[in-house]
Amino acid sequence: MPTLIRRLAIAVVTVVFLGGCGSGGEASSGTTSTTTTTAGSTNSTAPTAVDTTSPPTVATSDQTVVARAEVDVVDVFDEETSTEPARRLDRTTEVTGELVFVVEQRATGADGRHLVQLPVRPNGSTGWVRAADVSLSSHDYRIEVTLGEHELRLVRAGEVLIEAPIGVGTEDTPTPGGTYYLKELLQPPEPDGPYGTYAYGLSGFSNELESFAGGDAVIGIHGTNRPDRVGTDVSAGCIRVTNDVMDRMVEEIGLPLGVPVTIEA
């Protein structure tokens, strides 16, 4: 089912939009978008959040379990039995107002904790969250990225749905290998702009860029206004696909958040 687009309903938002991406035909360190909005309206300079809510289901062994925050602040513990949280993640500060995790180990009861992948530095971080603070859903999608072959594959239950060429990071700002997940979906204000029609933010970050414009250098998968450069080393760490590929993933397939993204360096 296609996802539903919804507008941000907040007073003032400053977005460091996919800081690890190149913002034009050449690699760059990112761009900042600032806007003033009212409930139900957004001016032309702000990315629009996209609703990727999926109904809770019971996962089978070949599916990914996703935890969605149901409280404003999620306590994250280093150990399952830790008494004090090591960090707190605030979903209200996220661009989309959503905070999701991929679950590595489910709690044994309602009062237990899930071991989850975290959208924080360093890449690959995990932590324990209270089962009571999140709701669970599951899906059978995954994305496989092979940097050397400049290729992205979207797979569902073993079936390849999309196989497409990609633009990747340059030698100076390479796309980091590893396993991440889709943490947010944004709709850039201009479909013919450098981020194309849609952009997924990943749970990973550039290893070369510590920060940009006051925010962290998030890597992402997004469209482009330079389809001629797809298939080359062009970005500051993000993965670029043509707009028709992004449109298919978002509008036709309706990928949920929490889809694992494996990047083979």
CATH architecture of 64-139: Roll (2.30)
The full set of domain ranges for the chain reads: 4-51+140-264, 64-139
**So what's the pLDDT on residue 49?**
57
Angstrom CA distances, 164 to 151, 167, 184, 203, 216, stand at: 6, 10, 21, 22, 28
Q: Are 138 and 259 in contact (CB under 8 A)?
A: no
Residues ≥6 apart with Cβ < 8 Å to 181: 100, 102, 117, 119, 202, 203, 257, 258, 259, 260, 261
**So what's the pLDDT on residue 265?**
87
Quick one: tokens of 182? 């889709």
**So what's the pLDDT on residue 17?**
47
**So what's the pLDDT on residue 62?**
75
Domains 4-51+140-264 and 64-139 share a fold: no
Quick one: tokens of 229? 């450069």
In this structure, which topology does domain 4-51+140-264 adopt according to CATH? L,D-transpeptidase catalytic domain-like (2.40.440)
**Cα–Cα dist 143/145, whole Å:** 7
pLDDT in tens, the chain (265 residues): 333 333 322 222 223 445 556 544 433 333 333 222 222 223 334 465 555 554 444 445 579 999 999 999 999 999 999 999 999 999 999 999 999 999 999 999 999 999 999 999 999 999 999 999 999 999 999 999 999 999 999 999 999 999 999 999 999 999 999 999 999 999 999 999 999 999 999 999 999 998 755 678 999 999 999 999 999 999 999 999 999 999 999 999 999 999 999 999 8
**So what's the pLDDT on residue 16?**
44
**So what's the pLDDT on residue 39?**
26
Q: Which value, in Å, is the radius of gyration of the alpha carbons in the chain? A: 18
